Structure formats: C-alpha cells, structure tokens
Amino acid sequence: MMCLPASPPALALRTWLGLGLFVLLCLGTGQALEKKVVKSKVGEKVRLPCCHEIPRSEGLREYRVYWQKNITDVVLAYSEGEMIRRHERYRNRTEMDPWNLTLWISPVEILDNGSYQCVVQRNSVVVCGESVILFVTADFSKPNVTAEVSAESCELTEMVITCSSHGGFPRPRISGALNNVSVEWNASWVSKSRFSPYNVTGKLVLNVTKDVNITCSVEYSGFAKSTSLLLKKTNDCVVPPVPPPYNVITASIIIVITFILALTLAVRYLPRHGENELESEDLALNKYRLEIKRFLTIKLARSWSTLR
Ligand SMILES: *[C@@H]1O[C@H](CO)[C@@H](O)[C@H](O)[C@H]1NC(C)=O
Ligand SMILES: *[C@@H]1O[C@H](CO)[C@@H](O)[C@H](O)[C@H]1NC(C)=O
Ligand SMILES: *[C@@H]1O[C@H](CO)[C@@H](O)[C@H](O)[C@H]1NC(C)=O
Ligand SMILES: *[C@@H]1O[C@H](CO)[C@@H](O)[C@H](O)[C@H]1NC(C)=O
Ligand SMILES: *[C@@H]1O[C@H](CO)[C@@H](O)[C@H](O)[C@H]1NC(C)=O
Ligand SMILES: *[C@@H]1O[C@H](CO)[C@@H](O)[C@H](O)[C@H]1NC(C)=O
Ligand SMILES: *[C@@H]1O[C@H](CO)[C@@H](O)[C@H](O)[C@H]1NC(C)=O
Ligand SMILES: *[C@@H]1O[C@H](CO)[C@@H](O)[C@H](O)[C@H]1NC(C)=O
Ligand SMILES: *[C@@H]1O[C@H](CO)[C@@H](O)[C@H](O)[C@H]1NC(C)=O
Ligand SMILES: *[C@@H]1O[C@H](CO)[C@@H](O)[C@H](O)[C@H]1NC(C)=O
C-alpha cells in the first residue's frame, strides 16, 4: 500500500519526515489488516468505512482527511474542517460523516469500482490509513434461451441454442448444463468500453436424440442468473420398421412360390383366347382350371390372414 503526500510541498523537511512516517504506518496497517471489501450495485448507496472515529472532545477542525481512489485520485479531502478538494466525478454523489469519517457514495456508478484509501492526519501526524475495495456490479437480465432446429432426421434433431443476457457488469461468465451435465457455450461479449454494461450471448449446437433440459447461467461477481429450457426432439418418425418375425418370412416365401407355380401352370395348361381347340378337351381343362383357381384363392386368403 502506498500513500499520498500528506502536507503541502512548501514545508519540505516536514513533508519528508511526515512522508517517512506515513509510509511506515501504511505498510504496518496494510499487513495487519486484510483489505475490506464492499459490494454495491449500480444506483445504490454505498458506505465506505474509514479507520478513525473523532472523539467528541475534538472535531474535524483538528484533522486532515483524505479519501482517495486507486492511490492517485483524490475523491474528497478535508482540512481544518473545510472541504479542500472534491473530484468532479463525485460532485453531488459523496458525503463524509464528520465524526467517523465514513464516505457515502450515492448513486454508485460503474466507474466507482476500485480501491479506495482513507488517510487521517492530526497535526501532520498520520493517525491511520486504510484501504477499502469497492466492487461495483450491475444486474444482468434473466437469460433468454431460444432453440432453433437446423437439421433433423428420424434419429436426431440438430439445434442451435442461443442464450443471451444484457445490461450487467462486470463481464460475466456463461455456463450451462444439459440434464445436469455441464456444457460449454461459445460466448461473445459486447460492451462500449471496459467500464460499460455488457451484453453476453452464448451459442451451442446440439444433437438432440431425446427430450433434454438445458440450463444457461450468467455469473458475475458472485451473483448468478439462470434459465432452463426443455428441448423436445421434434421429428419422431412413425413406427420404426422392426424386422418381421421368422414365421412371417416363411409365409411370405410360400406365397411367392405358390404364386409363381400357379402362374407357370396357368401359362402352360390354360388355353389362350382366340385359339380353336377341341370341345371335349376344352371342357376337361376348364374344370381343371376352375379347380386351380379355387385352390389358389383359398391358399392366398389363408396366407394373408397369417400375415395380419
Ligand atoms: C489505477 O492506477 C494504476 C497506476 O497507479 C493504473 O495503472 C490503473 O489503470 C488505475 N486503475 C484505474 C481503475 O483507474
Ligand atoms: C448538485 O446538486 C444541486 C442541488 O442538490 C443541484 O442544484 C446541482 O445542479 C447539482 N450538480 C450536479 C453537477 O449535478
Ligand atoms: C458512521 O456514522 C454514520 C451516521 O452518520 C453511521 O450510519 C455509520 O454506520 C457509522 N459508520 C461506522 C463505521 O461506524
Ligand atoms: C474493480 O476494482 C477491483 C479493485 O481494484 C479490481 O480488482 C477489479 O478488477 C475491478 N473490476 C473491474 C471490472 O474493473
Ligand atoms: C428472446 O429472444 C428472442 C429471439 O432473439 C426474441 O424474439 C424474444 O423476444 C426474446 N425474449 C425476451 C423475453 O427477451
Ligand atoms: C446434479 O448434479 C449435482 C452434482 O453435479 C448433484 O449434486 C445433483 O444431485 C444432481 N441433480 C440431479 C437432479 O441429478
Ligand atoms: C465460436 O463462434 C465463433 C464466431 O461465431 C466461431 O468463429 C468459432 O468457430 C466458434 N467456436 C466454437 C468452438 O464453436
Ligand atoms: C445490449 O442489449 C440491449 C438490449 O437488447 C441494447 O439496447 C443495447 O444496445 C446492447 N448494448 C450493446 C453494447 O450492444
Ligand atoms: C449432429 O449429427 C450430424 C449427423 O450425424 C453431424 O453431421 C453433426 O456433426 C452432429 N453435430 C454435433 C454438434 O454433434
Ligand atoms: C431443468 O433443470 C433445472 C436445473 O437442473 C431445474 O431447475 C428445472 O426444473 C429443470 N426443468 C425442467 C423443465 O425439467
């Protein structure tokens, strides 16, 4: 931890002495205390605690107080009870409690994110210095998960899943789960600058073979928002072709063979139309023909009923 020069540069020697003491003390406190962390959402009012409470017997007049950010920027400074500096960006948004020196910021902005130091001096002697880290977050919208079918067959449906969320800070992580098994999204982020709200979009191509539940989570600074969507396999083909049982195959073969036999017989023995044949022969053949016809009809009917 570093500290700001405490006194005006005119008093060179005293500044050096003061500075030496200052840095020592800052290092001491930096090691002794773990840094305080404060989380706040954009638009809220936040309280950054200092390290000293002025006794009721004294007053702010006897003190010099610096609230600075990222070591280099003075947010607010008091000397002899008067405000001597205030950063333009914090005008109208900051207030310091005159007894416990707590800094209030309202409304909090994304740019306020960072490390703050409170340094208290009394008669040019450092009383204390402390760091507080302010983490600014902005809520993301509840993720919007949509699915689009890109290809389908009887076995699977290929889907393009999109998950999007907007208006949050800082840059989020996007994670997912498919029926409780984690999946990677192909994520992309957009933001006007490093200190502007982010929009995030995750894409995923999936082959869905049965109905599945997909979850998309947007995680930022310890917070998370998630949405689930049930993906339905769309194109279920009607009655998948199961191989027919053995006896049906046999029946089919018998039918085909009988049919071919009948056809051969018919071609060989039945008279063709328009040919002159003897009457007696014709009669006998006709009887035979009818016989075959009846036999075939019965046989076919039976085979069909076995097939059904
Ligand atoms: C804080 O200061 C350091 C240099 O001291 C600088 O590199 C960094 O960008 C600053 N961070 C912010 C958030 O201003
Ligand atoms: C600060 O607040 C005062 C009164 O509350 C208002 O008149 C002034 O316009 C504000 N200044 C800025 C920079 O917002
Ligand atoms: C400082 O005083 C304010 C009241 O002005 C109080 O709300 C706050 O909790 C106090 N902070 C600490 C650290 O005691
Ligand atoms: C906010 O400030 C903290 C402390 O300086 C820093 O670690 C963090 O990276 C900052 N966050 C962003 C988004 O810049
Ligand atoms: C989700 O995204 C789809 C496609 O981009 C859009 O049509 C729909 O309005 C969005 N829904 C919400 C609640 O934002
Ligand atoms: C999901 O997985 C987690 C650990 O990965 C497990 O604790 C939890 O019970 C699982 N939930 C379901 C519904 O399977
Ligand atoms: C992620 O998306 C980008 C752009 O849309 C693409 O170029 C890249 O190949 C994708 N990566 C994966 C792993 O799908
Ligand atoms: C983020 O999304 C919101 C709402 O969809 C849109 O109005 C805004 O312009 C987007 N921001 C960026 C940086 O693209
Ligand atoms: C989905 O299946 C099709 C066809 O089997 C294949 O070409 C494609 O690469 C698969 N996609 C994924 C994401 O596994
Ligand atoms: C999908 O999974 C999530 C988390 O694993 C669960 O909270 C949600 O109820 C599930 N949704 C459906 C429709 O099964």
In the structure, what pLDDT confidence band is assigned to residue 239 with cuts at 50, 70 and 90? low
Q: How far apart are CA 233 and CA 167, in angstroms?
A: 33
State the closest ligand 9 atom to the C-alpha of 206, by its place in the atom list counted from 1: 13
In the structure, what pLDDT confidence band is assigned to residue 83 with cuts at 50, 70 and 90? very high
Residues of 281-304 as b/e, b for ≥16 C-beta within 10 angstroms? Answer: eeeeeeeeeeeeeeebeeeeeebe
- Helices within the chain (DSSP H only): 12-32, 246-269, 279-307
Ligand nearest the Cα atom of residue 168: 8
pTM metric for this prediction: 0.70
4-28 pLDDT tens trace: 444 443 333 343 333 333 433 444 4
pLDDT above 80 for 218: yes
In the structure, what pLDDT confidence band is assigned to residue 275 with cuts at 50, 70 and 90? low
Non-local (6+) Cβ contacts of 66 within 8 A are 4, 6, 74, 76, 77, 117, 118, 119, 120
Nearest residue by C-alpha to atom 5 in ligand 2:
92
Is 97 close to ligand 3, i.e. is its CB under 6 Å away?
yes
In the structure, what pLDDT confidence band is assigned to residue 152 with cuts at 50, 70 and 90? confident
Helix (H, G, I), strand (E, B) or coil at 122: strand
pLDDT above 50 for 133: yes
Lowest average pLDDT, out of 55-64, 84-93, 194-203, 269-278, goes to: 269-278
Ligand nearest the Cα atom of residue 68: 1
Residue 12 has a pLDDT of 37
Domains of the chain in start order, with CATH, are: 13-137 (2.60.40.10), 144-231 (2.60.40.10)
What percentage of the chain has pLDDT greater than the value 90?
58
Ligand nearest the Cα atom of residue 162: 5
Residue 192 has a pLDDT of 97
Nearest residue by C-alpha to atom 1 in ligand 5:
144
Cα angle 217, 219, 224; round to 5? 75
Token pair in block for residue 194: 């490093």
Instruction: Please say whether the beta carbons of 296 and 262 come within 8 A.
Output: yes
Residue 112 has a pLDDT of 95
Instruction: Please say whether the beta carbons of 55 and 98 come within 8 A.
Output: no
Nearest residue by C-alpha to atom 5 in ligand 8:
166
pLDDT above 60 for 276: no
Is 207 close to ligand 9, i.e. is its CB under 6 Å away?
yes
Residue 236 has a pLDDT of 67
Q: How far apart are CA 36 and CA 264, in angstroms?
A: 101
